[in-house]
Amino acid sequence: MGVSKIRSVIGWKASTLWKRRQKPNILITGTPGTGKSTTASALAEATNFKHICVGDLVKEKNLHDGWDDQFECHVINKDLVCDELEDIMEGGGNIVDYHGCDFFPERWFDRVVVFQTENSVLYDRLTRRGYSGTKLSNNIECEIFQVMLEEASDSYKEEIVTAMQSDTIEDISDNVVSLTEWIESWSPWVIII
């Protein structure tokens, strides 16, 4: 829809129309084991968007400051990650998948989705991955206290943050359908009144 058509539809109320990127960017976040990567991969396939798994990117491009023995993971360098993603994010059409969200620039995302999983389901998923001890208990506690939802709510505008349940294959499928519908309804035009 062109600018003149949009102005004729909304009339005097629009003082400015601003065009953002052609496709939206989505951040999928949540405690490890909540189905982020599974959903992001399926959504990317359904929409022809690019799936960016930050954990994989950190390993592939050495965007970290070493290894944390206690939590058995790389200590990511947030500045290097953001530098690596900056140009990619400008074009839109990206699904970023990571268990943290407070360091990404707010301007990058049009939707922030926090996946949540019932604690017993999450416990089973994480133990199957080999999580134990501090790593397991910390992740379960994060889910119990909704740390990721709070982090997303503190970091992004309320209207773009959504929580989705991700306990079953059916939940994941429903989430992919819902997010695909959101992408299809998204408009690159923003009306500033």
As annotated, the binding site for ATP includes 33, 35-38, 129
Contact between 130 and 180 under an 8 Å Cβ cutoff? The reply is: no
Stated as kind and residue range, the H or E segment containing 120 is helix 119-128
- What single-letter amino acid sits at 29? T
Binding annotation: 33, 35-38, 129
Contact between 75 and 64 under an 8 Å Cβ cutoff? The reply is: yes
Q: DSSP secondary structure string, 92-108?
A: --EEEE-S--TTS-GGG
